[in-house]
Homo-oligomer: A and B are copies of this chain.
Amino acid sequence: MVNIPTFENALEARRRIDSWIHLTPVLTSQYLNGVVGAELFFKCENFQKAGAFKTRGAANAVFGLSGASAARGVVTHSSGNHGASLAYAAARRGIPATVVMPDNAVRAKREAVRHYGGRIFECEPSASAREETARELAANSGGELVHPYNDARVIAGQATCAIEFLEQVPDLDTVIAPIGGGGLIAGTCLASRENATRVEVFAAEPELADDACRSLRAGRLVSVDSSGTIADGLRAPLMEMTWHFVSRHVRDVLTVGETEIVDAMKSMWQRMKVTAEPSSAVALAAVLKYRETFVGKSVGVIVTGGNSDLDNLPWNLR
């Protein structure tokens, strides 16, 4: 039996994390509105503490622990942002954080974990190796495993992003966010289905990591090899708790190619003046590609994070 978070849990999360996160601004671009023929609103979680929305879920988990559990520290696995966010939250609470990271993680994300005082354990870049190593470390240390997304506390925390967004722009028709493991999308579903206007939720996914799209088509969890996408934050597979939300509440999963991701990323840097990371650009890439789905609507786009490697920008590599 899966422990599915509720809207009430999301409201609790909001109160709990309030002093540890930023209320991030919403930006607009006339240029991009013109290109799409819609009103786009960008919720800039790249300005969030530790540079990504992940701090919401991580802070909710860390500050929800009892004193005795907290004292033993927290453990997770992460390609980067959840790890840095957990290390940030743990440092604020004064407890140790251990992060299992794939050895192909982006350098800036590794450095962020270290910057916040997190301990890094390297492992192979496979989902199973990460899960297993983190479970072992937690068992050996007695630390609390805070899964990056298959965790009710984390999903309730991520839901606070869409709750805030819908307060900032109350008349959104649609919210679109990238999907990897599905924590943000699950939280967005949680927030939006409780909203009076019943905003529709779209997920955007790299073609090279399209397990959510394939799962939705098949009606059951399907796994794929997703190590090839440049959107390093979206390589993680859906799991049962996030699949619960995706299968019930996501209107559609829209997939985009690698070139489309890089082009959208460059547009965001150029037009919106924000250093959105590749995973963040997947949602805009989908809006640009499936324009006809969004035309005439008021569309909320969650810009999930800003932790890019400035020395290896993708448009310099092709």
Q: Is the CB of B310 within 8 A of A270?
A: yes
Chain B residues with Cβ below 8 Å from A269 are 275, 310
Tell me the bound Cα distance from A5 to B166 in angstroms.
Answer: 42
**228-273 of chain A: CB within 8 A of chain B:** 266, 269-270, 272-273
Q: Is the CB of B306 within 8 A of A311?
A: no
Tell me the bound Cα distance from A246 to B41 in angstroms.
Answer: 39
In the complex this chain forms, how many copies of it are found? Answer: 2
Known: A25-B25, A316-B316. A47 touches B273 (CB 8 A): yes
Contact with B along A90-109 (1 / 0, CB 8 A): 00000000000000000010
Q: Is the CB of B275 within 8 A of A273?
A: yes
Which residue among A51, A270, A315, A316 has the maximum number of chain B CB atoms within 10 Å of its CB?
A270
Tell me the bound Cα distance from A27 to B27 in angstroms.
Answer: 13
Chain B residues with Cβ below 8 Å from A313 are 310, 313, 316
* Distance between A103 CB and nearest chain B CB, rounded to angstroms: 22
Tell me the bound Cα distance from A46 to B27 in angstroms.
Answer: 12
**261-304 of chain A: CB within 8 A of chain B:** 266, 269-270, 272-276
